[in-house]
């Protein structure tokens, strides 16, 4: 047994204890930062997945939404149809007319099924 003077023991406790708690704190902080980084990465991945899974807007080739088309596929949206043209063949007057689209030709909305992903949050 080495006989340390009291200040020697105090010094060893202060330095040793201080170093230990500092490294523990450092380790905890690093762990916390890593966790935050992982959560941020997880969030970005989820956003990318959402964007990829998002069905395209059901918009017809006539530029009108699927909802404007009836069951037969005919479009019921009103459009401005030119009724008179000037000498340069530019329309000078318009009248509202029904879109003459006969068939919806856009993407069909899919029934959206969400499978909750199991996220390991520790």
What lies within 8 Å, CB to CB, of 76 at 6+ separation is 68, 69, 70, 98, 99
Alpha carbons 37 and 30: distance in angstroms, whole number:
10
Length, in residues, of the chain: 122
Closest CB to Zn ion among residues 23, 102: 102
Stretch binding Zn ion (CB under 5 A), from 7-15, 29-37, 42-50, 70-78: 70-78
The mark string for 44-63 relative to Zn ion (x by CB under 5 A, - otherwise) is ----------------x-x-
Residue 66 in the binding site for Zn ion (CB under 5 A): no
Residue 77 in the binding site for Zn ion (CB under 5 A): yes
Contact residue for Zn ion among 21, 66, 81, 99 (CB under 5 A) = 99
Alpha carbons 45 and 117: distance in angstroms, whole number:
12
Closest CB to Zn ion among residues 101, 116: 101
Smallest distance, Zn ion to C-beta of residue 56, A: 15
Q: Which residues bind Zn ion (CB under 5 A)?
A: 60, 62, 64, 75, 77, 99, 101
């Amino acid at each position: 047994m080495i006989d340390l003077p009291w200040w020697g023991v105090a010094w060893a406790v202060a330095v040793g204890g201080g170093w230990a708690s500092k490294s523990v704190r450092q380790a905890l902080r690093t762990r916390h930062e890593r966790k935050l980084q992982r959560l941020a990465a997880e969030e970005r991945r989820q956003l990318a997945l959402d964007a990829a899974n998002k069905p395209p807007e059901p918009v017809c080739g006539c530029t009108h939404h699927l909802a404007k088309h009836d069951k037969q596929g005919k479009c019921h949206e009103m459009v401005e149809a030119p009724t008179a043209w000037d000498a340069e063949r530019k329309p000078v007057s318009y009248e509202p007319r029904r879109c003459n689209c006969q068939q919806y030709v856009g993407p069909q909305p899919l029934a959206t099924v969400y499978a909750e992903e199991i996220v390991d949050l520790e």
